[in-house]
Structure 1
Amino acid sequence: MGKQARSRSLGDNEALALGRMIRVSPQKLNLVAGMIRGKKVDQALNLLAFSTKKAAADVRKVLQSAIANAENNHDLDVDDLVVAEATVGKNLVMKRFHARARGRASRIEKPFSQIRIVVRAQEEQA
């Protein structure tokens, strides 16, 4: 008497990976996610490997997880995969205080973000 199994929200030719609690602002993470949207996965991995942005390492790890999910859980061919979606969202914000002049304090916000990557198998067009 458990809950009913939820139906799969993605298509049969898609796989998903989530990265949560990434310690970078969503605005900066979205710049990196924009680099890989719509690209083939091998090209996207190369872009992320040689990117100078700090968030590229975290995005690369999530993309590799999505590729592994597609290969192992959904039996998709890795050579046909394309980054269909790369969406970024806000997560929690750590609040810290910084001492200022005359006994005052100012607030420092350290944001976290999350990323959702969907890879889709696409047939090569001749």
Structure 2
Amino acid sequence: MEVRSVYKYARISPKKARDVAREIQGLPVSDAIDTLNFTPKKAAFLIGKTLKSAVANAENNHDLAADSLLVKEANISDGPSFRRFKPRARGSASAIKKRTSHIYIILTDEGAEEKAPLKPEQGNRKKPAAKTEKVKEEAAADESVTDSAESELGAEDQVDADPVQEASDHSPDEETGAEQVTEEPPTSEEESEEEEQKD
């Protein structure tokens, strides 16, 4: 069943009223009233009065519960304009139009349960499993690359350090296997014998 309410000759521009009317179209009555209460515009106050009038019509004339109602249409049509003039230079005057609007609100009790907002528990929320798996794979690949780079650097350092270490650890006598012989200084007798042999 549809319930209707009209506010004629509202002193507001149709363009300004339509911006607010679009926000409540298709919402449940409770959500529409909350939206209008927290919209700081003159059009929200005028449309709110029309919406409350439509809810009262549904409850009193058709025995409908306000919780089961849905805003089916919220239309704004042009009303008559008041022509005023503003004095300008050299005795001329410019026209001013003070526009009015007709506000139409239509409520219905059909489809209110279907369009009711779902609770967070009932919502079909998909977990970003694929994204997390992709991130884990990228992290594992980065770790493998860093490990391989570190192992290569360690091998190069070990190759460079081996010749120096072997050279410092082994003396040339040990490599050839020769025994070290310490020569004692010649005595005086040996020197005299060498001189006689020369003579």
Class of the TM-score when normalised by the shorter of the 2 chains: 0.7 to 0.9
For the residues of structure 2 that align with 1:108 and 1:92, how far apart are their CA atoms?
A: 13
Partner of 2:38: 50
Residues of 2 paired with 1:24 and 1:88: CA distance? 10
- Please give the per-residue CA displacement for 1:35-65, whole angstroms capped at 9, x wherever unaligned: 1000000000011011011111000000000
Equivalent position SS for 1:87: strand
Q: Runs ≥4 in structure 1, deviation > 4 angstroms?
A: none
Mapped to 2, the partners of 1:34 and 1:88 lie a distance apart of 10
Query: What is aligned with 1:16?
Result: 4
Q: Which runs of 5+ in 2 are unaligned?
A: 115-199
1:67-99 residue CA offsets vs partner (Å, 9 max, x unmatched): 000111011111110000111101110000000
Residue 63 in structure 1 maps to residue 51 in structure 2: yes
Taking CA–CA contacts closer than 8 Å with sequence separation of 6 or more, which of the two structures ends up with the larger relative contact order? 1
Which structure has the highest helix share of the two? 2
Aligned to 2:17: 29
Report the Cα offset of residue 124 of structure 1. 2.1
Which residue does the alignment assign to 1:74?
Answer: 62
1:4 maps to: none
3-state SS, counterpart of residue 38 of structure 1: coil
Provide the rounded CA distance (Å) in 2 between the counterparts of 1:49 and 1:86: 16
| Alignment partners' CA distance in 1, 2:61 and 2:50 | 16
C-alpha distance in structure 2 between counterparts of 1:31 and 1:53, whole Å: 10
> What is the TM-score with the length of structure 2 in the denominator?
0.56
Q: Which has the larger radius of gyration?
A: 2
Please name the residue that 1:41 is paired with.
Answer: 29
3-state SS, counterpart of residue 92 of structure 1: coil
Counterparts of 1:26 and 1:124 in 2: how far apart (Å)? 31
CA RMSD of superposed structures (Å)? 1.3
The amino acid that maps onto 1:63 is: L
Q: Which runs of 5+ in 1 are unaligned?
A: 1-12
Choose between structure 1 and 2: higher strand proportion. Answer: 1
Fraction of identical pairs, as percent: 43
